[in-house]
Structure 1
Amino acid sequence: MDNLPVLKYALAHLAFSLIFSLHSMEGTLKDLSFEANLESNHGKLKYSMKSNAVINIIKTKYGDEYECVELYKQPALAHNLLKNHKIQMRPSFFDPLKEAATIAIGNGSSAETSIDVGFTDCPLGTVPIRRRNLTESLRAKAIFRQQFQSFPTSNSPLIFNQGLFGPETNPFQFGEGRERLKNPLNKCGNLNLYARLNLSTFAGISTIKEGTIYHGAGGYVSINNPTVSNGQMSCSAISIEGGGDNDFSVIRVGWMVNLLYHGDDTRLYTAWGQIKNGKMHGCLNTECAGFVQTDPTIGLDMILKPYSVVRGPQYYVKLAVNRDKSTGNWWLLYGENDKPVGYWPSKLFLNLKNGAATLRWGGLVNSATPQMPIMGNGDNGELHSSHFRQIAIKYEAETTLNGTIDVPIGVIENKCYKAGDNSYKTEFWGYSFYFGGNGGDVSQCT
């Protein structure tokens, strides 16, 4: 009886796979399947969760289910580039004194610490992978393809890579901050996910000194829960970038609200992408092979609570992406004490093997409706807006992330979304800035 839930899930997954096989023969869902073969930079990438890899299933108090998957049977290792990959369990820069992960609150004391409080973490030797049905997986892939189809050149000081939201877009100058998606995804099978109209906006700061190589970025970002509608997304982002139009490499981490992907909760997200032959490959979280998880207590796509209150208590999550000099792998660090969650192997990227050319921090919104959504908490004034604090950069491969910002920083904003007050302040704030806005009619946000 104890194995009944796992057996039911295995049978359900088999049924979904068979259903998809019929659809893919017709060509309707070929590129978005749970079992789809996706062309990657150097071969084929296949995501296929095997039932015998799932040790048990845990459920959070919010109702999310995570599969505890055997470490060496996790989806990441299905990537052709990661065959016979030996998992790096800890980065070379790991400090065992900082192993406890937290979400920082207000004055820096700790709040919730893992996927959720009140249940047993995944057993040692396993990692938590968010459990999804076929429809949810299709949506995740469709959303990624919609938002990551292509990127303009990454190293121009006047450009933010708005291709996060669409293909073949024109770069914008400081202050414009908007692009129009020229070729949006129309439908995914029977999932009418997006309308023809699809617009996106970024507001935040960016390194703009060409020729500088970076090995990491991090900071505390206030946790907000912006209201979005179907076809809209709002998120914060720390972005690690390298390469140009035809070979762009990117890693992004932050929090996200996206109704189509995971409802109206604010959740931890990661994304990686690599352009080759004009096509972006990669995914959100663990929706495809790529991100190698090592920690059994932190789940990608987990709900982040409590939320900050405008003119009230502020709650933060500390995130960082840090390159390991010994392996070249890019590690996700979570919490006040920089807990290593997992890594993106350097083999996934053409232009992040030796470091990054550009770093960004800020807010991103995307809309397939005539209205642009709230970014951050909806306030665009420096006193009460969403914000990053203790911005950190890693300049040298052998050093640690630090708050010394000694490179030129550009500010990107537009009529609807502002960013600014980027400067050093107190010890608590470090180098900080605010971002956000209330959105509005598309015609007013250009």
Structure 2
Amino acid sequence: MRSTIFILLWLLITVHGGSPSRHKILEVERKLKHLRRHSLKTIKSEDGDIINCIDINKQPAFDNPALKDHKIQMAPTHNSAKKDLTVGSRTSRYGKKMNESLIVTSQVWQKSGKCAEGTIPVRRIRKRELLKADSVEEYGRKKPSFSHHEHGEVNKNLDSFVQLKNHSKAILFTVGYRYLGGKADLRVCNPFVEKDDEYSTTQVALLTGPHNDFECVQSGWAVNPSVYGDRQTRLFVYWTADGSKETGCFDLTCPGFIQTNNEIALGAAIYPISIPGGLPYVITIYIFKDPCTNNWWMQYGEKTNIGYWPPELFETILYNAQSVEWGGEVYSARVAQTPHTATQMGNGQFASVLDYSSAITRMRIHDNSEALKIPEWTYDFSDEYNCYDVWYMSEYIYDPQFYYGGPGRNPKCP
């Protein structure tokens, strides 16, 4: 026990220049022991991850008191994606080829093993990431996202949850209807993230509520060192019921999201990755509401249902969302500061470099209509156009395309 405590102390001193309290060390040890107690099988991935195969009925979600009596829904009762008549496809070695993009369904850990039916793959949390968090409860949570009211920078024509403090967004969004789903193909990139407490994500998000207390479910890919301990591009889900003040987290790092799939691990690395000028690998993300149970399902690819956010987590989005967003997000304390963060969005290229920049295609919404459809009314938005910009291409093409991203710090964004 003494040697374990010494090692943990040394690790934190190396990273932070300070030492944790004995209480925090013991709290971290209890948390890790608690998370691993139901592991039935361990898979060591070649990229350094450890995947625990956990009994589906004993997954982290059920540590949430609100889900004490919740019964798992193994499959959605209705899926409007089947009625998206705009889709055409051809087969490729990594999945499906759609609109000249290669749909990725692979994760690195899958080369090393698989989890049996009745279990789910859970990426093991590392001690060092948990120790670096301000507290065990805040690990895996985004920083609270209050809008820039104090600086008078809010665009009054935009919904307030679009603009967030310490977050820079380059997005396309739609408002004005009752949204029951949102979908897109997201080109998978590996942006440079300058500091360990910063991140860069690309996602599909559905939101509702006021700026300081909004509810949100989202999924996509992320480079997030503070959660994952490295700079690999990883699949993620995220939720919050109060603007990330006290609820919500990435993946399964807190009790909330219920996973039903035994083949895909949330937080695991995605491969292959797109590079500028190379093959455009994409992941397909579809978030939709089950009309019978009010569960918000997350689908990966065209038919793989990963799991869902149950309505017990929320107060308003359980009925419908007020907005759907597609695009990139960078978190840094040096957003809107000089010097600006050098953390990239997308693949680091500006949206105007069409053949090389990050793209989101096949954007769909599910409103009150029976089938998925292309959104009729959309708005593009960038917090810092000289750092990360946007370009929505909708004229003279059958299916609109959205380009976004940028390098962060550059001569126009010092």
| TM-score computed with the length of structure 2 as normaliser | 0.79
RMSD: 3.7
Match of 1:64?
Answer: 49
- In 2, distance between residues paired with 1:425 and 1:238? 25
Q: CA offsets per residue over residues 237-269 of structure 1, 9 Å max, x none?
A: 211111114542111211111233321111111
Does the 8 Å CA contact 1:363/1:376 hold for their aligned counterparts?
Answer: yes
Deviation of 1:122 after TM superposition, in Å, equals 0.6
- Relative to structure 1, the CA distance from residue 180 to residue 349 in structure 2 (aligned partners, 3 Å threshold; closer, same or farther) is closer
Q: How does 1:285-300 map to 2 (within 5 A)?
A: 285-300=251-266
- Is 1:84 the counterpart of 2:54? The answer is no
Question: Which of residues 184, 193, 209 in structure 2 aligns to 1:219?
Answer: 184
The answer to whether the Cα contact below 8 Å between 1:68 and 1:122 also exists between their aligned partners in 2 is: yes
* Superimposed CA distance per residue, residues 342-372 of structure 1 (whole angstroms, 9 cap, x where no aligned partner): 0000110112111101111111112245432
Residue 407 of structure 1 aligns with an amino acid whose one-letter code is W
* 1:128 Cα deviation after fit: 0.6
Opposite residue 373 of structure 2, the aligned amino acid is G
State the one-letter code of the partner of 2:386: K
Matched, 1:390 2:351: no
Deviation per CA, 1:399-440, whole angstroms, max 9, x where unpaired? 34x23212343433522111112426656xx22210001110
Shift of 1:34: 7.2
Q: What code does the residue aligned with 2:186 have?
A: V
SS at match of 2:179: coil
Q: Does 1:202 align with 2:172?
A: no
1:286–1:47 distance in 2 versus 1, CA, 3 Å: farther
Q: Residues 102 and 281 of structure 2 are in contact (CA less than 8 Å); yes or no, is this contact kept in structure 1? A: no
- Give the partner amino acid of 2:187: S
Q: Pick the aligned partner of 1:358 from 323, 329, 332.
A: 323
Name 1:409's counterpart in structure 2.
Answer: 379
Q: Percent identity?
A: 28
- Partner Cα distance (1:72, 1:431) in 2: 42
Please show how residues 236-255 of structure 1 align to structure 2 within 5 Å: 236-245=202-211, 247-255=213-221
Aligned residue pairs total 375
Cα distance in structure 2, aligned partners of 1:96 and 1:202: 27
**Residue 154 of structure 2 corresponds to which residue in structure 1?**
172
Q: Measured at CA, do residues 366 and 355 of structure 1 come closer, stay the same or move farther in structure 2, by a change above 3 Å?
A: same
* 1:149 aligns with one of 122, 144, 153: 144
Give CA-to-partner distance per residue, 1:285-308, whole Å, 9 cap, x none.
Answer: 100100000000000011112121
C-alpha distance in 1, partners of 2:225/2:317?
A: 31
CA distance in 2, matches of 1:326, 1:118: 37
Residue 424 to residue 55, structure 1, CA distance change in 2 (3 Å): farther
Q: Which residue of structure 2 aligns with residue 431 of structure 1? A: 400
Say whether the 8 Å CA contact 1:421–1:433 is kept in structure 2: yes
Query: 1:49 matched to which residue of 2?
Result: 35
Change in Cα spacing, 1:103 to 1:233, as seen in structure 2 (3 Å) is: farther
Mapped to 2, the partners of 1:371 and 1:408 lie a distance apart of: 29
Give the equivalent residue in structure 2 for 1:271: 238
**Does the CA contact (< 8 Å) of 1:178 and 1:200 recur in 2?**
no
Gaps of 5+ in 2: 9-19, 84-90
- Quote the Cα distance in structure 1 between the aligned partners of 2:295 and 2:94: 23
Deviation of 1:103 after TM superposition, in Å, equals: 5.2
**Is the contact made by 1:137 and 1:287 (CA closer than 8 Å) also made in structure 2?**
no
Q: Distance in 2 between matches of 1:131 and 1:422?
A: 41
Q: Say if 1:272 and 1:418 are closer, same or farther in 2 by CA, change over 3 A.
A: same
Closer, same or farther: CA 134–109 of 1 in aligned 2, 3 Å: closer
Match of 2:227 in 1: 261
What secondary structure is seen at the aligned counterpart in 2 of 1:288? coil
Between the aligned partners of 2:413 and 2:139, the Cα distance in structure 1 is 23
Query: Cα 1:73–1:180, aligned 2, differ >3 Å: closer, same or farther?
Result: closer
CA distance in 2, matches of 1:218, 1:365: 21
